[in-house]
Homo-oligomer: A and B are copies of this chain.
């Protein structure tokens, strides 16, 4: 009942989950074999089936913990204080930084979101989405109620715009880096700073 070291409650399970997470985040479901997972975990393939009844269950478990972890990382990253403007600025920067810090988790969860038609656990992968979204919408509504923002825009739309900017940056970073006019591919903080500044002030000069 006690832990005699190196046997900290499901140590084998953890190794399997870690190996599976690594492989599943790098390649698609069908491209990862149980053999490869076992090899990565340093155990035999049959041993996996002692902990998980089949491949789908293992994948679901991986997605479950990954989604939970990603959610925690994101929620923690975007908690901020200060004026609404500062909160918004920190929100953008920390959110993107969190994505870039955990690329494996993001890729894993996002792939599940993208791959419709095989409804494995969409509802489940969407939770982090909802968290970010409602938190951001709340910030924007607060800014509106305080009169710091215009009243005539849809907070949900701006939230989508901001979240999308970060996700898109995360996804296309390697591509963006190839284009000469882009200088912010390796400067996510500068990217978000520019994004937020444009969002706040707009493209059209104030005189208009």
- Tell me the dominant secondary structure on chain A's binding face: helix
Q: Considering the complex, which residues of chain A in the window 105-123 have a beta carbon less than 8 Å from any beta carbon of chain B?
A: 107, 110-111, 113-118, 122
CB-CB under 8 A for A154 and B30, given A164-B169, A168-B168, A176-B160: no
Contact of A156 among B154, B172, B175, B183 (CB under 8 A): B183
Distance of A26 Cα from B108 Cα, bound (Å): 18
Report if A102 contacts B (CB, 8 A): no
Interface magnitude class on chain A: 35 or more
- A interface residues, Cβ below 8 angstroms from B: 26-31, 107, 110-111, 113-118, 122, 126, 129-130, 133-134, 137, 140, 143, 147-150, 153-158, 160-161, 163-165, 167-169, 171-172, 174-176, 178-179, 181-184, 191, 194-195, 197-206
